[in-house]
Amino acid sequence: MQALVDASRRKESVLVAGLDPIPSRFPEELRILPEAEATLEFCRGILEAVEPCVAAVKLQAAYFERLGTVGMGIYAGLIEAARDLGLPAIADVKRGDIGPVAAAYAEAHLGVYGATCVTVNPYMGVEAGLPFLEETRRQALGGGVFMLVATSNPSSREVQESTEPPLFEVIARMVAELGRPAGDYPDAGAVVGATRPEIGGRARALLPETLFLSPGYGTQGGDASGIRPLLDCNGGGVLVNSSRSILYAYERSASDYKDAAREAARESRNELRLAGARM
């Protein structure tokens, strides 16, 4: 996780830009291109536009997988391009298998494709997360694994809060047990959404020293007030992801998509600074 922490401090930003490329929402001049070509051009444009304002980027793998072999080439190329810009790349894959299968996923995304971190669904137990942690420890590049603890989607309550103790608390304790010291934070982090501040606060109480990745900011309804309960005792410990609010900011602007994305990222970064979020 140290690579993310270092980038956040260098940029004075806790904002993560999510790359969720939806071709039907691309600007008109890109929609006339083949989807793969348009996706590459759009994402490269976004990367260059937001680089001054963000600590990292998060690539949603599904949007590249849907394009087949060429899409995964684009995915790998964007991770490399982010690295060249000094931006750690989080592979948002949410894999949830175990054993050799999990190890193969880990080798692919952390090794072959070169992501700094991955997201993992740990609901099959310790065996779902450990192979990813073992791979990032072998890589020894300051990466880590973010495990789903309390997600931002509305129906998550039906599962994550349906037991006693709540399932998200069980998973939080597992994250605490799996993580090893790796700089400022353990190498096992937690995905904790910005849309349920009360749950976020409870997750922070259970994980006082863990780095959080917080989705749901912006389009999904999360705001700076939802981030504050997630902060650790030093006012840090949270990286905040914003995807559609940045990518498609041009839809509510007179600017082109790159300028609109840059301005949206700048506004979000500054709002989070004012809320006291820092690394």
Residue closest to 96 by CA, chosen among 87, 83, 105: 105
Whether residue 146 is contained in a domain is answered as yes
Is 94 among the catalytic positions?
Answer: yes
Whether residue 36 is contained in a domain is answered as yes
262 to each of 38, 106, 201, 259, how far by Cα in Å? 19, 32, 31, 5
d(CA 186, CA 84): 25
pLDDT at residue 266 greater than cutoff 80: yes
Whether residue 184 is contained in a domain is answered as yes
pLDDT at residue 107 greater than cutoff 70: yes
pLDDT at residue 278 greater than cutoff 90: no
CB 209 within 8 A of CB 232: yes
Residue-averaged pLDDT of the chain: 92
| CATH number reported for the structural domain that contains residue 240 in this entry | 3.20.20.70
Whether residue 279 is contained in a domain is answered as no
Task: Single out the catalytic residue among 11, 58, 94, 258.
Answer: 94
Whether residue 208 is contained in a domain is answered as yes
Q: What is the pLDDT of residue 276?
A: 73
Calculate mean pLDDT across residues 158-177: 86
Rounded to the nearest 10 degrees, the angle between the axes of helix 126-139 and helix 167-178 is 30
How many domains does the chain fold into?
1
Whether residue 241 is contained in a domain is answered as yes
Q: What is the pLDDT of residue 227?
A: 87
Whether residue 11 is contained in a domain is answered as yes
Predicted confidence (pLDDT) per residue in 20-61, tens digit: 999 999 999 999 999 999 999 999 999 999 999 999 999 999
Tell me which residue has tokens 């504050």.
228
Range of the domain at 10: 2-274
**Which of residues 141 and 29 earns the better pLDDT score?**
29
Q: Is the pTM of this model over 0.85?
A: yes
Q: What is the pLDDT of residue 155?
A: 76
Percent of the chain past pLDDT 70, that is, above it, reads 97
Residue 222: band (very low, low, confident or very high) from pLDDT cuts 50, 70, 90: low
Sign of the C-alpha dihedral, residues 208, 187, 200, 262?
positive
**Which of residues 256 and 163 earns the better pLDDT score?**
256
The bridge status of strand 212-214 relative to strand 89-95 is: unpaired
Calculate mean pLDDT across residues 89-99: 95
